[in-house]
Amino acid sequence: MGFGVVSLLNAVFRRMFTSAGLRPASATVDADDTTIHFWAHPSLQPSSEQQQPPRPVVVLIHGFGPDPTWQWAAQAGPLSRHFDLVVPTLLFFGASATRAPARSDAFQAAALAALLTGGGGASSHLPGLGAGRTLHVVGTSYDGLVAYHLARELHRRVGKVALCDSDACKGAEDDRALAARTGVAEVAELLAPADTRALRRLMAVCAHRPVKYIPECLLRDMLRKYFGDKREDKIALIKGITTGEGFQLDPLPQEVLIIWGEFDQIFPVEKAHKMKEKLGEKATVKVIPNTGHLPQQEDPKLFNQTLLDFLLHPSASNGSAAAK
């Protein structure tokens, strides 16, 4: 039964992507056979007719967990009405892989930059993403830090940045507090579950209103499909996150929207305002009420409207308003 349900959910989420006009593809972006699987609108991919005029592009970067189709399914349709999308699968998730030894968010960002730019001007991997296309970057959870690094690396190519429940200024003390709150020895044990009991714990802490009952067989299949593969690499990624001592979260030149779930148990909402302090006057905080660590899934309507308002309209010049 578990196999059937997980496969059905996967088919539903992929269908939501294809219904939004997205198509799967992959590209090898460097000499280390770094291959990134991604979804994108055909207008961005090779052998496609270019739209006139070209639409702005939004890059959606997923967090730890299942495929990006699961994590961004509720955003694909609404965003696709206004933007062309690129939704990559990060390295060591799904079909994306590399022979390079690096395991860090900065390396993930460099690989995405190579995908988006081809290492030069116009992208060889996404020919439709020419130098004149406005590019916005959205990242969630731990991999919001990938979005931050990507925005810094691409600099003038990026128009706006949205960071969703992503504590890019966390330190070792935050990791220790999270481990204590969730009853694990270290954060990697929470984010890279080794068994169904650990997966239940992760799912419970991510949601403000978690599902009360999930069959064991379904959890076993989810663990096998989305968490067991490349687990050691994912643990290395968690340990390679470049925050804390030696990392300085500097303001970005772009306008930044910080979206947070009101009852996030992984990164408490107070950290959203700490992020605002670090990122400066161009950053704005928006809190989604009655949601946890995944507001894009728990209240997709409000989340999508908040994100679209930011991407489609200029933010306040001083960026100082923080709403709850």
Domain segments of the chain: what residues? 22-312
Rounded Cα distance, 245 and 257, in Å: 25
Q: Considering the domain 22-312, what is its CATH architecture?
A: 3-Layer(aba) Sandwich (3.40)
Closest CA to 138 of 165, 104, 173: 165
Residues with Cβ within 8 Å of 287's Cβ and at least 6 positions away in sequence, in order, are 259, 260, 261, 262, 269, 272, 323, 324
3-state DSSP percent of the chain in helix, strand and coil, to 5: 45, 15, 40
- pLDDT (0 to 100) of residue 78: 98
What global pTM score does this model have?
0.92
Burial of 112 (0-12, 13-18, 19+ CB in 10 A): buried
Rounded Cα distance, 120 and 167, in Å: 31
| DSSP output for 229-257 | TTHHHHHHHHHT---STT---PPPSSEEE
Tens digit of pLDDT at every position of the chain (324 positions): 445 889 999 999 999 999 999 999 999 999 899 999 999 999 888 766 665 678 999 999 999 999 999 999 999 999 999 999 999 999 999 999 999 999 999 999 999 999 998 754 444 688 888 777 889 999 999 889 999 999 999 988 999 999 999 998 888 899 999 999 999 999 999 999 999 999 999 999 999 988 888 999 999 999 999 998 899 999 999 988 866 555 788 999 999 999 999 999 999 999 999 999 999 999 999 999 999 999 999 999 999 999 999 999 865 544 433 444
- pLDDT (0 to 100) of residue 316: 54
Question: Under a CB-based contact definition with an 8 Å cutoff, are residues 136 and 57 in contact?
Answer: yes
Tokens representing 201 are 């714990």
Rg (CA), the chain: 19
Q: Do the strands 135-140 and 57-61 form a parallel or antiparallel pair, or are they unpaired? A: parallel
- pLDDT (0 to 100) of residue 14: 97
Q: Do the strands 57-61 and 84-88 form a parallel or antiparallel pair, or are they unpaired? A: parallel
Q: What is the pLDDT of residues 152-207, one digit of tens each?
A: 999 889 999 999 999 988 888 999 999 999 999 999 999 999 999 999 999 999 99
Rounded Cα distance, 203 and 189, in Å: 13
Catalogue the E-assigned strands of 29-96.
35-40, 57-61, 84-88
Residues with Cβ within 8 Å of 18's Cβ and at least 6 positions away in sequence, in order, are none
Question: Under a CB-based contact definition with an 8 Å cutoff, are residues 143 and 64 in contact?
Answer: yes
Catalogue the E-assigned strands of the chain.
23-28, 35-40, 57-61, 84-88, 135-140, 158-164, 255-261, 283-288, 322-323
Closest CA to 257 of 198, 303, 202, 201: 303
